[in-house]
Structure 1
Amino acid sequence: MPQPNERAFLQHVLKDNAAAILFCEALFRVSQVLDDLIDGDKPVTGDAIYRAFWEAMIDIPSNTFYRAHEPTLRPLMAAALQDWRDSVTLERDGDRHGRSLAFVLRDQLTSLVVQCAGLIGGFAWMQQVSVEIRRHFHEEKLDDYLNEFKTGRADP
């Protein structure tokens, strides 16, 4: 995440629900800043950190889609955050199995997008777009991810 066609894809799977799209995009940006800060692999400006905190503390809680579905979304966000943290630990432990688990856990915001699609379009719509959502956000292959550690491109 994100990909060049991210907005168009979200418009499709979230049925042009502007508040849901803004909610997901804000989550993606906040999570990317957190990832960059923890990994230390990309410089993060003070403005980017401030913006991420603003989105986390102001924009997301005031988003109308989030407010309407907070009892469903907040536990999913908590699970995704914990899964991401676990993925960092497993990745840094350095064994193949841990890194395979990390590969699965690190992008659990994808599950949140699937659930957002369900909240917007119901069960049938969620079933229709769920695999499409997962393929869109999990474009990296496990072998490519694991090879990054062999070549030194990944920062454990």
Structure 2
Amino acid sequence: MPRQNEAAFLRSVLCNNEAAAAYCEMLFRISQTLDDLIDKDKPVTDAVLIRTFWEALIELPANPFYRQHEPYLRPLMASALQDWRDSACLERSDNHHYKTLAFVLRDQLTGMVSQCAYLVGGYEWMNKVSLSIRDHFHEDTLEAYLDGFAKPAEPDKEGVDS
């Protein structure tokens, strides 16, 4: 998910709210480590794993933006995680439709950024920046995503489903 100008972009759409940007950046790092562990496409070092757990268990819950908006953010995080899990299962199918569903579901953290924009700037601000948020984070096309599957795989009966 990280793009070259991601830090500056986040701060611009989050009204320079440093705690909100830090919250989003932590979510991105945590989700990337989870993705790397499940997809097994990039090795995860012990140091990265320990740092990720530290962020998930210590830093994210202590983040002032998260603490202020936890009743709003936590259900969105739960939904995004479940959507990502479903995506990881669906993309392992040889069914084209399931893979397109996986593409839609795999990155619900983009919606989290739009909701953070709402929390820092209100409804009008969210509507002003939401399309640029989607454009920024969804630069990959469906075709490119589908081309990334060299050979259809069978669904993992023990991995994500467990």
TM-score category (smaller protein): over 0.9
Instruction: Please tell me the residue identity of whatever aligns with 2:43.
Output: P
**Letter of the aligned partner of 2:122 in structure 1?**
G
**Matches of 1:39 and 1:143, distance apart in 2:** 19
C-alpha distance in 2, partners of 1:94/1:116?
Answer: 35
- Per-residue deviation, 1:52: 0.5
**1:36 aligned onto 2:29:** no
Amino acid at match of 1:44: V
In structure 2, what is the Cα distance between the partners aligned to 1:114 and 1:60?
18
Provide Cα deviations, 1:28-69, integer angstroms capped at 9, x if missing partner. 000000000000000100000000000000000000000000
Count of residue pairs brought into register by the alignment: 153
Please give the per-residue CA displacement for 1:104-136, whole angstroms capped at 9, x wherever unaligned: 000000000000000000000000000110111
**Partner residue in 1 for 2:158:** none
Letter in 2 for 1:76: L
Taking the aligned partners of 2:137 and 2:94, their CA distance within structure 1 comes to 24
Equivalent residue number for residue 12 of structure 2 = 12
Partner amino acid for 1:83? D
The one-letter amino acid of 1:11's match is R
Q: Find the aligned partners of 1:38 and 1:144 in 2 and give their Cα distance.
A: 20
In 2, the alpha carbon distance for the partners of 1:28 and 1:120 equals 19
1:97 to partner: Cα distance: 0.3
| Unaligned stretches of 5+ residues in structure 1 | none
RMSD of aligned Cα (Å): 1.2
> Is 2:64 the partner of 1:64?
yes
1:83 aligns with 2:90: no
1:143 deviates by: 0.8
* Map 1:2-151 → 2, pairs under 5 A: 2-149=2-149, 151=150
Q: 1:94 offset after TM fit, Å?
A: 2.0
Give the share of equivalent positions with the same residue, in percent: 62
State the 4+ residue runs in structure 1 displaced beyond 6 angstroms: none
SS of equivalent residue, structure 1 residue 104:
helix
Rounded Cα–Cα distance in structure 1 between residues aligned with 2:35 and 2:147: 20
Q: Which has more helix, going by share of residues?
A: 1
- Give me the whole-angstrom Cα distance separating, in 1, the residues matched to 2:146 and 2:43: 24
Q: Distance in 2 between matches of 1:95 and 1:59?
A: 39
Distance in 2 (CA, whole Å) between partners of 1:94 and 1:46 is 33
